[in-house]
Amino acid sequence: MKTAAAVLTEPNRPLEIIDLEVPKLRRGQVLVDVAFSGVCHTQVLEWRGYRGVDPYLPHCLGHEGSGIVLEIGDGVTKVERDDHVILSWIKGSGISAGGSVYSWRKQRINAGPITTFNRVSVVSEDRLTIVPSEFSLKTAALVGCALPTGLGSVFNVARPISGQSIAIFGVGGVGLCTAMAAKVRDCTPIIAIDLVEQKLELARAIGATYLINASQDSVLERIFQICPDGVDFAVEATGRTNVMCQALEAVRPRGGAVVVIGNARHGEMWELDPKQLNLGKRIFGTWGGDSQPDRDYLRYCDLVMMGSLNLDAFLAPPAYPLNGVNAALTDLELGKLTRPIIDLSIL
């Protein structure tokens, strides 16, 4: 069996769309007909070579998606043929089957336990979660990374109580999901900070109550005007180390907390003033919003079905075809949109 796939052959080179030979399933692996894939900054970092030396080149890409199960390998019990599934880089229950090797003209093409920039994908059982067949597959793709990371940073990590304040640094895909969760938890105010006016407007539509354009305003000055003692929580979703410093300064002494989500470039260090910690401020790291697929993903889907999450910013722009993947990466890098979605049914 063959599948069209977008393959990274060298950093900074456009991904190539090629027809790969799909390997036979090993124990714990599942063959999935991928319907939609999200494109996130992690893929931009990989494409640009910002994650350090990449020992897996050439390789497939993509770590959030949705699809329908075509075939299961030995030992798989979590899913069956025809199940609708979320594909996520965050591990859940099931066999951890590792990566795969596809082939193209006798060349080995590597793939991790999950890849989503291919029409048919071999996925490890532990990266799949069944979703009801009536749930939109396009929306389900977002439950692979953007929603668990953004929602989880609030629901699982910050855990604000109603009325607590939050500042969100960077309202791209993950930051917007953070704002959605802050609204669900009745945070007030919800302060959105970004360099791009259009993204700030999307944050407003989702429920942000104050917008700060960091290219025009002094961010900390504005935050302290709004919350004189500092905010209860700051969520950092830009991956820039100077913004991590600002986020720490922005939270209130004695109990204010920063949740750092953003991925910095390989080798970059965050230099911080320890006085900020002496003031009783806290820093939390997080792995995918501490979301656990088996516990959380259907809960997130329920919030979508109840209308509690406004996903227009993600779903309204037209999806990209698979051969538009390079445009999707570039548009994401340039901040033209928050979360490109690839429709694998169109080449």
> Which residues sit at the interface with Zn ion, rule CB under 5 A?
40, 42, 145
Cis peptide before 58 (omega within 30 of 0): yes
Question: Minimum distance between the CB of residue 130 and Zn ion, rounded to whole angstroms?
Answer: 21
Minimum CB separation of residue 292 from Zn ion in Å reads 17
Considering the complex, what minimum distance in angstroms separates the CB of residue 149 from Zn ion?
A: 7
Output 79 or 145, the one with its CB closest to Zn ion.
145
User: With respect to Zn ion, which residue has the nearer C-beta, 40 or 342?
Assistant: 40
Tell me the pairing of strands 257-260 and 210-213: unpaired
Q: Which is nearer to Zn ion, 151 or 231 (CB)?
A: 151
Q: Which residue has the tokens 């071999």?
A: 122
Output the smallest distance, CB 257 to Zn ion, in A.
23
DSSP labels for 106-142?
TEEEEE-S---SBSEEEEEGGGEEE--TTS-HHHHHH
- What's the closest the beta carbon of residue 262 comes to Zn ion, in angstroms? 12
- For Zn ion, give the closer residue by CB, 160 or 172: 172
Task: Rank residues 154 and 191 by Cβ distance to Zn ion and give the closer one.
Answer: 154
Residue with tokens 């929602």: 151
E strand or H helix that includes residue 298: helix 293-305
Q: Cβ atoms within 10 A of the Cβ of 271, count?
A: 8
What the block records as the tokens of 54 is: 């990449």
Distance separating alpha carbons of residues 337 and 341, to the nearest angstrom: 10
